[in-house]
Structure formats: C-alpha cells, structure tokens
Amino acid sequence: MIPNPSNPDLTRRRFLRRTAAGALLAGLPAGWSGRAFADDSPESPNVRFGIIALTDCSPIVIAHEKGFFKKHGINSSVSKEASWAVIRDKLQTGDNQATHMLLGMPIASTMGLGGSVKKPMVFPWILNRNGQGITLRSELAGKVKDDPKALKNHVDKAKGIGEPLTFAMTFPPGTHAMWMRYFLAAGGINPDKDVNLITIPPPQMVANMKVGKMDGFCVGEPWNARAIADKIGFTAISTQDIWKDHHLDGLRLLRHGLRSHRAPGRRRGGEPQRRHGIPGQPRHGLSQGLGGVDSAAGARPRHDAAPARRRHRTP
C-alpha cells in the first residue's frame, strides 16, 4: 500500500473505502446522510375496539379509561356489540379495528367456518383465563350438582315425552359450546340428539332463562352470578373445575390489519399492564400476552374423566 504524499495517513485501502461510502450516500436525498431510526408510533392511531358485555372485556375498558392506549399514541374508542356474530362481522368489515373475541372464533374465521367469510386473524393478547360457568335452572337444584350423570335421568324423561331439555351456549366456535358439549357428554348425554342446543348472546342468557326458554346455559361472568342473584338458576360447575387455567377470550386483529397497526398488535399490547401494574392481577390474569399467536394455534381439554370440582386437570 502506497501512502499519499499529501496525506501520509491516507492509504489506498482507506481511499477506496471513503470514496465507496461517498458514492452510496450521493444517491440519498438531502438530510438522509445521518443516522435514521424507525418511527415507533402507530401508522393508524385511531383504533376502535369491539367488546361484549362480559367481565373479561375489562382489560380493554381499563386501558381505554385510564389512558394507557393514549399514552402510546393510540386514540382508542370502545364499541359494545350485541353478539359474537356482530363482533366477528364488524372486525371483518373494518368497522372495528380490534375486538374482544372467543378463543375459537379466529380459527373458524381463518378456515371460513360457521358462516364466516374466510379472513385470517391473529390474537396477540389473551385477555383472561377461566371465568365461565354452567348454570342450570333453579328447579334442578339439589337434584343435579357438578356431576352431569345426575342430569341424564331428567334429559331422558323429557326426551321420552317429546319435550327435550334446552341448553344454550353463546356461539358455536366458542369455548362455551365446547364446555356445554363436554359437560353433557360426560354424563352420557348426546348434545346433538338428546337435547336442544341453541345459541344465545351472553347479555340475553338470564332473560331467556326467566321466561323458560332454556334449562341451562354456559356463559362467562357476570351472567352466572346474575342468574343466582335473580333466583332463577345455580352454577353447577365452573369451567376452571373442568380445565384449570384454560384460555377464554383474547383480543383479535385481522392479519393484514396487524401489519398496518403494528403498535396495538405488538409492543403496546401487553405493556400497559406491565408498566402501570394494575393491582390485583394474578400471574395468569388479565392481559397475559402470548407475543403474537397465529390463528392456527389451538388447544383441547382432557377428556379422560367427567368434570368434577375435586379434580383439577391441566392439559
């Protein structure tokens, strides 16, 4: 390497390195030659969150009311919807950009099942675990407890006179349907042949039981507690007694929406709870993030024993 006489410290290698860097920078617009950082603000700051009137929507409501979303550049609004079908449809049409949704719904939407348009979804947040129950009408109190086998005689008698018992869940692809079917099947009851299984939105469960439309239902809180308070039903079993610490609801986004709304779906998702420390949250409580779970994910409970309060099985 031959030194440059006018600049002894400039060797041929250093000269080529500097001229190459200069050629690269020459093609950039003015002002781009310094260091550059990606903008971490949301590309679309206005996000409307859909919810159903259930206690497990509380992480979204708390984050909205306490300004946790706003702190991170998200102008949030909350829209209470009438049913899970409306929740799904408003996310797919873009009326809501994110939504409170049952665990099985994004899987069904991604596969185009249950009357859903085939649109891939992701669920970056798990909003809660446990929190559902199976409520039976008060006339069955003392006759049926947490063992569904005790319900079979009542089911068989009603079916025999042509008036099968009716049980409700909130949405076919949801966990409520899975729990109700599992509970009945564990008692030797075929949910498709021995009883009527109907779909009722969560806020309408208690009102329908009051008028005698159903003999039991599976729903999230506060509607099981409301049935007890109104003296029309009792909780036969809680879902955490079937599958301890199971997932229930989460926050859902369309897959293409996650790409354009990077902040709500990624870093800012779990940060409000962790940073601000909402009191009273257990380790597996509200807003436990999974770091971006695709809708191909799934889970199933143990089916090797009838549900019972004294047994806690984790899959």
User: Residue 188 pLDDT > 50, yes or no?
Assistant: yes
Which of 239, 217, 250, 194 lies closest to 140 in space, CA to CA? 217
Tell me the backbone φ, ψ of residue 46, rounded to 5 degrees: -95, 110
Mean pLDDT of 200-223: 94
Domains of the chain from N-terminus onward: 46-129+246-294 (3.40.190.10), 132-241 (3.40.190.10)
Q: Which amino acid, one-letter code, is at 150?
A: A
In angstroms, the CA 114 to CA 91 distance is 16
pLDDT band at 242 (very low <50, low <70, confident <90, very high): confident
**Alpha-helical segments (H) within the chain:** 12-26, 58-65, 68-71, 84-93, 105-111, 149-160, 175-186, 205-210, 223-229, 255-260, 262-265, 267-276
* Average pLDDT over all residues of the chain: 74
Identify whether the C-beta of residue 167 lies closer than 8 Å to the C-beta of residue 215.
yes
Residue with tokens 């949704």: 101
Helices and strands, counts by H and E, the chain: 12, 11
User: Residue 257 pLDDT > 90, yes or no?
Assistant: no
Residue with tokens 């009102």: 207
In angstroms, the CA 275 to CA 234 distance is 39
Alpha-carbon distances, residue 188 vs 192, 266, 309, 310 (angstroms): 12, 44, 18, 20
Q: What is the pLDDT of residue 252?
A: 65
Mean pLDDT of 301-310: 36
Question: Minimum mean pLDDT among 113-117, 131-135, 274-278: which range?
Answer: 274-278
Q: 90 or 18: whose pLDDT is higher?
A: 90
3-state secondary structure at position 201: coil
Q: What is the pLDDT of residue 128?
A: 80
In the structure encoding, which two tokens stand for residue 303, read together?
């089916």
Q: What is the pLDDT of residue 254?
A: 65
In angstroms, the CA 170 to CA 249 distance is 13
Q: Which amino acid, one-letter code, is at 88?
A: R
Identify whether the C-beta of residue 74 lies closer than 8 Å to the C-beta of residue 98.
no
130 secondary structure, DSSP code: -
Which of 129, 136, 240, 246 lies closest to 187 in space, CA to CA? 136
Q: What is the pLDDT of residue 49?
A: 93
pLDDT band at 284 (very low <50, low <70, confident <90, very high): very low
Residue 76's beta-bridge partner residues?
47
Q: Could you tell me what percent of the chain has a pLDDT over 70? A: 65
pLDDT band at 13 (very low <50, low <70, confident <90, very high): low
pTM above 0.75, yes or no: no
Mean pLDDT of 15-28: 54
**How does strand 249-254 pair with strand 121-126?**
antiparallel
Mean pLDDT of 143-157: 91
pLDDT band at 113 (very low <50, low <70, confident <90, very high): confident
In angstroms, the CA 105 to CA 84 distance is 9
pLDDT band at 164 (very low <50, low <70, confident <90, very high): very high
Mean pLDDT of 153-168: 96
Mean pLDDT of 226-252: 86
> Which of 37-51, 80-94, 291-305 tops mean pLDDT?
80-94
Contacts of 296 (CB under 8 A, 6+ apart): 107, 110
Q: What is the pLDDT of residue 248?
A: 67
